[in-house]
């Protein structure tokens, strides 16, 4: 009921707040025998952590994971895997003078409406700080997917404001191309312009949004359930569970509204011993079930709500006031969103891989 667990077979439960002692996750359903150590978790955690460039929040967190259970002699045991990531650089004092004010764009009011109380330090449970343990859990999912089917998941920044990257073949984008710039955009022409735009809004004490594209290759055909647990439905829920996501589309997405059926349909063809389609406007899913083509989806990410410039708001008592949010915040969420989006895609795919095994033996 409380909604802190995600997945049906590969299940992840998280706990923790932005300014608490740390964040923890329990990964249940991981098969036994998978080689696993903290070295498997560190690469994506380093990509997600704060303070990695001037484009993101300057909070300094090492995000060093600790595996507390579920691994023995370097391999998973099949029992729950517990992972702890301590918080080390909280500045709770930054929030003392706004504890009774509602920050525009944040969950302050809705948390009060739901619980009658809230942790005002950095948003508490609603903070994106919670996603570090999701990324750690997804490192396990990525390893399972890679070893079982050679599945690779790559995310990148597609758009910042009105600057759109030219990505002709999403399935050919590599991690090295993404990580070549701090903005995580593989387009060498658009990336410098994006960096300049983010720096401009930072100097203006403002923020900016954009779009991240996520791609999974080598996903076999047949994953996903045909009604309520469609693969596209679970991916949509996964992405919307992340802070700041305001829209999700896959394949041609909202572009389908401008097309006729004859233009939108992907024509089936035979390729060697396999059936496939000539194009991939369906984004790798038909009827909510994977088609064997690359899964391609996009998330629209809103501008960071916390601004150092004054904004109008009200207090908990409804009195008009102004608010200026102190602390260290991302002028653009996109660069650090990329590993978070990859993580949620990996958790969904690992869950459906195991569900498919259970169904078909």
Instruction: Give residue-wise pLDDT tens across range 165-176.
Output: 999 999 999 999
> Does 235 have pLDDT greater than 90?
yes
The predicted structure's pLDDT at residue 37 = 98
The continuous run of DSSP H or E covering 80 comes out as none
The predicted structure's pLDDT at residue 62 = 79
The predicted structure's pLDDT at residue 88 = 80
The predicted structure's pLDDT at residue 284 = 98
The predicted structure's pLDDT at residue 89 = 63
Q: Please state the φ and ψ torsions of residue 82, each to the nearest 5 degrees.
A: -105, 130
The predicted structure's pLDDT at residue 309 = 86
> Does 28 have pLDDT greater than 90?
yes
Q: How many domains does the chain have?
A: 1
Positions of E strands within the chain: 5-6, 11-16, 22-28, 66-69, 71-72, 75-76, 81-86, 152-160, 163-164, 210-217, 245-250, 268-271, 274-277, 285-286, 289-290, 295-301, 311-314, 320-323
The predicted structure's pLDDT at residue 241 = 97
The predicted structure's pLDDT at residue 184 = 97
Tokens 């990580």, residue located: 179
pTM of this prediction? Answer: 0.94
The predicted structure's pLDDT at residue 91 = 61
Instruction: Give the N- to C-terminal CA distance of the chain in Å, as an integer.
Output: 31
> Does 208 have pLDDT greater than 90?
yes
**Which DSSP symbol is given to 172?**
G
Query: Pseudo-torsion of CA 35, 176, 190, 251, nearest 10°?
Result: -50
Residue-wise pLDDT tens digits, 46-91: 999 876 666 766 666 778 999 999 999 999 999 999 999 998 865 6
CATH of residue 270: 3.60.150.10
Domain coverage including residue 307: 5-360
Q: How confident is the model at residue 118 (pLDDT cuts 50, 70, 90)?
A: confident
């Amino acid at each position: 009921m409380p909604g802190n667990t995600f997945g049906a077979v590969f299940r992840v439960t998280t706990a923790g707040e932005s300014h608490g002692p740390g964040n923890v996750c329990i990964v249940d359903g991981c098969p036994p025998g998978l080689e696993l150590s903290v070295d498997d978790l560190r690469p994506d955690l380093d990509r997600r952590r704060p303070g990695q460039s001037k484009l993101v929040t300057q909070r300094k967190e090492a995000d060093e994971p600790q595996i507390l259970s579920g691994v023995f002699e370097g391999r998973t045991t099949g029992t729950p895997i517990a992972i702890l990531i301590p918080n080390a650089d909280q500045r709770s004092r930054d929030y003392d003078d706004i504890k009774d004010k509602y920050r525009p764009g944040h969950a302050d009011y809705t948390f009060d409406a739901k619980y009658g109380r809230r942790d005002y330090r950095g948003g508490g449970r609603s903070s994106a700080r919670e996603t570090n343990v999701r990324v750690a859990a997804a490192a396990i999912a990525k390893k399972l997917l890679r070893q079982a089917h050679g599945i690779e998941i790559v995310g990148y920044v597609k758009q910042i404001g009105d600057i759109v990257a030219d990505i002709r073949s999403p399935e050919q984008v590599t991690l090295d191309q993404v990580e070549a710039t701090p903005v995580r955009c593989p387009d060498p022409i658009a990336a410098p312009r994006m960096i300049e735009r983010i720096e401009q809004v930072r100097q203006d004490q403002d923020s900016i949004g954009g779009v991240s594209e996520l791609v999974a290759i080598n996903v076999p055909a047949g994953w996903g359930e045909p009604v309520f647990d469609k693969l596209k439905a679970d991916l949509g829920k996964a992405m919307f569970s992340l802070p700041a996501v305001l829209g999700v589309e896959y394949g041609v997405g909202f572009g389908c509204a401008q097309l006729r059926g004859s233009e939108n349909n992907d024509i089936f063809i035979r390729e060697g011993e396999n059936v496939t389609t000539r194009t991939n406007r369906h984004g790798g899913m038909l009827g909510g079930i994977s088609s064997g083509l690359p899964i391609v989806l996009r998330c629209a990410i809103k501008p960071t709500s916390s601004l150092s410039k004054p904004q109008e708001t009200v207090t908990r008592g409804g009195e008009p006031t102004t608010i200026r949010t102190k602390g260290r915040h991302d002028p653009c969420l996109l660069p650090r969103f990329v590993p978070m989006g990859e993580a949620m895609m990996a958790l969904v795919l690992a869950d459906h891989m195991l569900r498919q095994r259970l169904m078909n033996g």
